[in-house]
Structures are given as C-alpha cells and as structure tokens.
C-alpha cells in the first residue's frame, strides 16, 4: 500500500489542501491589488496563525475577526490592524481596551447606546464603522432607514473618542442567491446603496467616508469590485458545498475535507455509516431535490481526495454518526475500515469543530484554542 496520510488517520480529521488554499488566497490578493482595494480578509474561517502567515507573505497587513477572543489570538501572532466585525460586546470592554493599547482596532456600531457606551468606556481614540444591513436582517441599520442612520452618525461624530471610518456591510443576501449573476447584481446593488449612504453625510464632514464589504460570493465573483475601499471576505480560502451550490466555486477549489472512517454499510439502503457526526461536520445543510445534504463525498485518491461522487451525499448526522447515501458503483468501492472524504457544507463551522488541520503531506496545523 502506498504510504500516505490516509494510512495513518484513525478518527475524523480535517484535511487541508494547502496548494489550493494558497491559490484561493492569491486570487483574492491579486484582484484587490489590481483594483487598488484594501484586502482585509476575515480570519474566522481558518482561525490559524500559521494560515494567517500565508496571507502575510502576500503583503496582507489588516484582518477581520468575529470575536474579541479571535482578535486577542491574532494580535498575539503579530497582527496589528484588526477589525472586529461583530456588534461590540459591552461585557468585553476591558479586553477591548487592553487590545487597543497595542493594536489598531476598528469596531462596529449600530446603535446610539453602543456609541455612547464606547464614548464612556474606551480609553483611547478608536475608529468605528456604522454597520449597514442590506436586507439580510442579521445586524446593522437598514440602508433605507436614513433617519436612524443619520441619528447614529450625528452621535458618533460628536463622540470625541470615536473616529467614523465609514459604512460597513456583510451582504448575507448573496448566500441565498439563485445564480452567480444574481450574486453579481446583489453586489452592485449593495455598493450603489452604500455609496448613497456615504453621500448623505459627506457634506456634513467635508471628507469622504470609506466603504467596506464582506461577503465571499460577491467579492469572488465580481470582476469589478467597484466603488469600495476595502473587502473582507473569509470563506473563499477553503470554500465549501454551500459556495459550490451557489456557483461561486467549482468542486476542485474546495480546499478542505473531513476524512471519516467507514464503520458500517447497509447494502439494502445503499448507505454507509461513517465515524463523523454533528460534532465534527456541524449540522449545516443545503437542500437539494428536497433532501437535506450535510456534505459531499469523495474517495481518497493518491495523496488527495478525488472528484466528489455524483449522487452520493451525507444524508443525516447524529452526534458521532454520519449516514452517507451512495450510488451502486460507489457503494461497491467502499468497505468497512476505509476512509471517505466529506466536503463540508460550511467550512468555517467544520474547521471550528475540528480544531486543527492535517495537510496532504501530513503536517499538523494548529488553530486558536477555545478560551472557554
């Protein structure tokens, strides 16, 4: 038997195709450089100092994170310019102040309460973005709500602890688009509205505001990044089944897979049971032809995983078990004791669950340890 990583794996293990991840990084780096945009990648996807260093080698100096814990981790690994792209958690104000002592932090505000809280509790002058909601209704002020945005901008402009950088969004609508062209249209739409918001206030300050956008689908697919100052995509480094289904990436561009031991098989249902469940893959799913799909399925092939098998998918997950629906040809190829490689539906959640990476040449890459 050929000696490779597949011979040493005994438990669900997150495989990372380093070459592909670096290709994905290089694509976004080149595009943003060519178009003169600040590339501030979101590091919540990989949560790894080593993988962060791959970005640094391309000249990236500014990053995005989704928690104060993550900001602390990356600051401790030499990242000095960090946007915490999450509504400010008042309960972590001490940690935020400590971080701000030695780093350039950018924070998000979406309410007058939080602006005043920061004014009263920040020790140092800090840059903030007003979070704008393009319609996904997760966080932020709706771009159409001029009154609310105006009230907040007025307060922020009067807070001498806060410098208003501009307007920031993560347009979650692209994650539910029907086609790549709809994603590009949503991206343009988002930019048009954000520029309008900027114009409302530019006269008031007599200087321009910046615009920051974040979603992988829009930033990856749009040839022209348009009138933005910075982009903050994160997922593109690994991609996943969700992005594949959206038409953002092809299956070869997915840079992670979970190697899972086959522990049982049921010929009458053309199903195999894998050691690999909700605590490894996460319960994120897509719906295809009416069925929930928790992962696509590929066989180990040489030192890598192969092309995903047609009509094979993870059909359900319990805590540690996964059920994989196979076609007859694929079923015939698999035996108890083998490994299957599962392409995750949402790579950010899968990486978070598994806690480290194994590269295809067998090198372990660490991630941030959870503080709790």
Binding site for a second copy (CB under 8 A): 9-14, 44, 66-67, 69, 86-92, 95, 110-111, 113-114, 117, 137-139, 142, 172, 261, 263-266, 268-269, 271, 273, 275, 278-279, 282-284, 316, 318-321, 323, 335-337, 346, 348-349, 352-356, 370-372
Q: Nearest 5 degrees, angle CA 36-CA 182-CA 186?
A: 50
Q: Based on CB atoms, which residue is closest to a second copy, 27 or 90? A: 90
Q: How far apart are CA 52 and CA 79, in angstroms?
A: 9
Q: What is the DSSP string of 104-138?
A: EEEEEE-SHHHHHHHHHH-SS-EEEEEEEE-SS-S
Q: Are the beta carbons of 306 and 330 closer than 8 angstroms? A: no
Q: Based on CB atoms, which residue is closest to a second copy, 153 or 225? A: 153
Q: How far is the CB of 159 from a second copy (least distance, A)?
A: 16
Q: How far is the CB of 14 from a second copy (least distance, A)?
A: 8
Q: Based on CB atoms, which residue is closest to a second copy, 25 or 262? A: 262
Beta-strand pair 104-109/126-133 = parallel
Q: How far is the CB of 34 from a second copy (least distance, A)?
A: 30
Q: Based on CB atoms, which residue is closest to a second copy, 58 or 315? A: 315
Q: How far is the CB of 128 from a second copy (least distance, A)?
A: 14
Residues 6 or more apart whose Cβ sits within 8 Å of residue 3: none
Task: For 151-172, give one letter per residue: b (16+ CB within 10 A) or e.
Answer: ebbebbeebebbebbbbbbbbb
Q: What is the DSSP string of 243-263?
A: HHHHTSS-GGG--EEEEEEEE
Q: How far apart are CA 335 and CA 346, in angstroms?
A: 27
Q: How far is the CB of 43 from a second copy (least distance, A)?
A: 12
Q: How far is the CB of 36 from a second copy (least distance, A)?
A: 30
Q: Based on CB atoms, which residue is closest to a second copy, 221 or 262? A: 262
Rounded CA Rg of the chain: 22
Q: Based on CB atoms, which residue is closest to a second copy, 248 or 274? A: 274
Tokens 């598994």 belong to residue = 354
Q: Based on CB atoms, which residue is closest to a second copy, 88 or 225? A: 88
Q: Are the beta carbons of 34 and 352 closer than 8 angstroms? A: no
Q: How far is the CB of 352 from a second copy (least distance, A)?
A: 5
């Amino acid at each position: 038997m050929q000696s490779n990583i597949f011979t040493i794996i005994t438990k669900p293990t997150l495989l990372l195709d380093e070459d592909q991840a670096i290709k994905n990084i290089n694509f976004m780096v080149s595009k943003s450089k060519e178009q003169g945009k600040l590339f501030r990648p979101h590091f919540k996807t990989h949560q790894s100092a080593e993988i962060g260093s791959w970005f640094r080698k391309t000249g990236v100096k500014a990053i995005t994170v989704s928690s104060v814990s993550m900001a602390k981790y990356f600051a401790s690994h030499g990242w000095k310019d960090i946007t915490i792209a999450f509504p400010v958690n008042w309960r972590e104000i001490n940690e935020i102040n400590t971080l701000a002592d030695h780093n350039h932090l950018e924070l998000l505000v979406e309410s007058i309460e939080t602006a005043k809280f920061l004014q009263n509790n920040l020790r140092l002058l800090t840059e903030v973005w007003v979070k704008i909601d393009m319609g996904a209704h997760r966080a932020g002020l709706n771009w159409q709500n001029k009154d609310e945005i105006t009230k907040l901008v007025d307060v922020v402009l009067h807070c001498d602890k806060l410098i208003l950088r501009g307007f920031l969004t993560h347009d979650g609508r692209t994650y539910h688009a029907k086609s790549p062209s709809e994603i590009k249209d949503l991206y343009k739409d988002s930019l048009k509205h954000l520029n309008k918001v900027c114009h409302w206030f530019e006269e008031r300050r007599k200087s321009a505001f910046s615009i920051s956008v974040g979603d992988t689908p829009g930033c990856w697919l749009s040839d022209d990044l348009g009138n933005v100052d910075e982009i903050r995509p994160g997922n593109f480094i690994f991609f996943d089944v969700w992005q594949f289904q959206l038409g953002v990436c092809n299956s070869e561009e997915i840079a992670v897979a979970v190697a899972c031991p086959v522990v049982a098989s049921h010929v009458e249902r053309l199903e195999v049971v894998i050691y690999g469940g909700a605590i490894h893959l996460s319960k994120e799913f897509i719906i295809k032809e009416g069925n929930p799909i928790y992962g696509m399925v590929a066989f180990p092939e040489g030192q890598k995983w192969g092309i995903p098998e047609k009509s094979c998918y993870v059909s359900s997950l319990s805590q540690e078990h996964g059920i994989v629906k196979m076609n007859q040809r694929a079923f015939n190829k698999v035996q108890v004791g083998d490994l299957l490689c599962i392409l995750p539906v949402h790579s950010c959640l899968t990486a978070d669950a598994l806690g480290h990476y194994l590269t295809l040449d067998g090198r372990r890459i660490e991630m941030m340890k959870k503080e709790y």
